[in-house]
Amino acid sequence: MSGFPKDQEFLLPASNTFIVLSLLAALLLNWLPWRGVWLALRPDFVALVLLYWCIHKPFRIGIGIAWMMGMFADVADASLFGQHALAYSVLAFGGIVLHRRMQMFDLRLQALQIFPVLLLTYVVYAAVHWQLHGYVAWGFFIGSVVSALLWAPLTMLLQALRHHHPSDPDKL
């Protein structure tokens, strides 16, 4: 399913600029004005990109960056300050813990492995929402399923961009 040999996927270079731009692009996708049924189906693009980087570059992207991205998401969504930060920190921890395990699987099996981590992230959101409002809409968890389904396409996109991104300025 992936165009790169399993042993080389995780070794692809990634500049700090590329990582930051991918996280900013994910923030912009989360900020799109989703409405109606699309709001229920909306994946958490920031969570997906954070998880991707925590799995592929765990020594460069970690819980601190996840916390910071969560703060940006909280400000943008006008949600309780720290709600996304807490959820993204849990997500980053899961990605870092699983990063070696993920190297053994193809993208379909990786999606099955990351689904519980994404679901736990949504459970953290829901727990905070429940504490504030006293209820949780079960349809809220559909986003974790959609996010897991987008794992393979997002991974292939980021790997293709990393593969074509020249790490050596003398190389074209």
User: What is the three-class DSSP state of 94?
Assistant: helix
Mean of all residue pLDDT scores within the chain: 86
Tell me if 47 sits within 8 A of 121, measured CB to CB.
yes
Buried b (16+ CB within 10 A) or exposed e, 106-134: ebeebbebbbebbeebbbbbbebbeeeee
Which residues does 172 contact at the CB level (< 8 Å), separation at least 6? 166
H or E segment at 71?
helix 63-77
- pLDDT for 164 beyond 50: yes
pTM of the model: 0.86
Most confident range, picked from 8-12, 45-49, 79-83: 45-49
pLDDT tens string 102-129 = 989 999 999 999 999 999 999 998 998 8
Percentage of the chain exceeding pLDDT 90 = 58
For residue 172 the two structure tokens come to 């074209």
Neighbours of 33 (CB within 10 A): 6
Which of 7-11, 37-41, 57-61 has the highest average model confidence (pLDDT)? 57-61
Taking only the tens place, the pLDDT of each residue in 22-45 is 999 999 998 888 888 887 788 999
